[in-house]
Amino acid sequence: MVFHNCSCKVGPSLLACDMSDMANEAKRVVDAGADYLHLDVMDGHFVPNITFGAPVIKCLRRHTKAFFDCHMMVSKPEQWVQDIADAGGDQFTFHFESTENPEALIQQIKDAGMKVGVAVKPNTDIKLIDNIVDKCDTVLIMTVEPGFGGQSFMPDMMDKVEYLRSSKPEMDIGLDGGLGPKTIDVAAKAGANMIVAGSAVFNSDPREVIQIIRDSVEKYGNGKGQTSA
Ligand SMILES: O=C(CO)[C@@H](O)[C@H](O)COP(=O)(O)O
């Protein structure tokens, strides 16, 4: 177990909320202690599902000041950078697999005034992002195949977290997919500190679940929850 210097950040994924009432659902989880909101943008091409894009994010922005991490599961991320920035996105998390020129995309995102996240699918070797990771604010390691909520957590992905964490004690390392009270300890011990959770938060008591996640990351991840003997 390697301790890191990052605070725990819990980002409920609105994919699991009642999307007909997204503004109130966002408020519900922010009031319950969420640190940010994870917005899953899917285009039906990069992943076999369609959700929403900049127009919906723009409407949601009128109802909350929460940090928006826009997880872009789209084939042409370059096409949407300015629209997401204009809609109120704070972070643009692109998939490494979705672009031929990650360096140019990272610069485009920064020029648009957003933070940069890079996401990797389960079958992507984490070493492939070695030469861009320092240009990004966060890495998002997928612990399910992107496209749908409610799937089972893939513990094998913890090798990727440990690999990154061993050289990056200050970096926000996120996990996405199947996270909740049953899986958070494994994730926290590996060194993840940004936790995306959809079903676990929205299908239960959000405050309680967010607190369980935070306690685990603080106990196993940054040592803040450790009591001295
Ligand atoms: O990006 C995705 C799915 O592609 C995730 O954000 C899921 O929405 C997480 O949902 P749960 O696994 O927590 O239900």
Is the pTM above the cut of 0.90? yes
- Give ipTM to 2 decimals: 0.98
Atom of ligand 1 nearest to the CA of 143: 12
Running DSSP on this structure, what letter comes out for residue 174? E
Is it the case that residue 229 has pLDDT exceeding 50?
no
pLDDT tens, position by position, 22-31: 999 999 999 9
Strands (DSSP E) contained in 4-45 are 9-12, 37-42
Q: Tell me which residue has its CA closest to atom 2 in ligand 1.
A: 146
CA-based end-to-end distance of the chain: 18
Q: Which of 40, 43, 69, 172 is catalytic?
A: 40
pLDDT tens, position by position, 172-201: 999 999 999 999 999 999 999 999 999 999
Residues 6+ apart with CB under 8 A from 83: 53, 54
Average pLDDT rounded to a whole number, residues 167-171: 95
pLDDT tens, position by position, 83-129: 999 999 999 999 999 999 999 999 999 999 999 999 999 999 999 99
Ligand 1 pocket residue status of 15, Cβ below 6 Å: yes
* Structure confidence at residue 227 (pLDDT): 57
Helix residue ranges, H only, 91-219: 102-111, 158-167, 184-190, 199-202, 206-216
Average pLDDT rounded to a whole number, residues 59-85: 98
Q: Is residue 134 part of a domain?
A: yes
* Structure confidence at residue 226 (pLDDT): 67
How many angstroms separate the alpha carbon of residue 156 from the centre of ligand 1? 17
How many angstroms separate the alpha carbon of residue 198 from the centre of ligand 1? 6
pLDDT, averaged across the chain: 96
Q: Which residues pair with 197 in a beta bridge?
A: 12
Average pLDDT rounded to a whole number, residues 123-151: 98
Residue 185 falls in the annotated catalytic set: no
Contact yes or no for 115/96 (Cβ under 8 A):
no
Q: Any idea what the Cα angle at residue 57 is, between residues 16 and 138, rounded to 5°? A: 75
Name the region of 72 (left: φ>0; alpha: ψ -120 to 50; beta: rest): beta
- Indicate the residue type of 203: N
- How many whole angstroms separate alpha carbon 185 and alpha carbon 204? 18
Tokens of 179: 């996270």
- pLDDT > 90 in the chain, percent: 94
- How many whole angstroms separate alpha carbon 173 and alpha carbon 177? 14
How many angstroms separate the alpha carbon of residue 196 from the centre of ligand 1? 7
Q: Is residue 229 part of a domain?
A: no
Q: Is residue 4 part of a domain?
A: no
Q: Which domain holds residue 159?
A: 9-222
Residue 69 falls in the annotated catalytic set: no
**178: annotated binding-site residue?**
yes
Q: Binning pLDDT at 50, 70 and 90, where does residue 3 land?
A: confident
Q: Is residue 143 part of a domain?
A: yes
Structurally, the chain folds into a number of domains equal to 1
Helix (H) or strand (E) holding 63: none
- How many whole angstroms separate alpha carbon 100 and alpha carbon 98? 7
CATH number of the CATH domain containing 79: 3.20.20.70
Q: Is residue 118 part of a domain?
A: yes
Q: Any idea what the Cα angle at residue 197 is, between residues 15 and 72, rounded to 5°? A: 50
Ligand 1 pocket residue status of 151, Cβ below 6 Å: yes
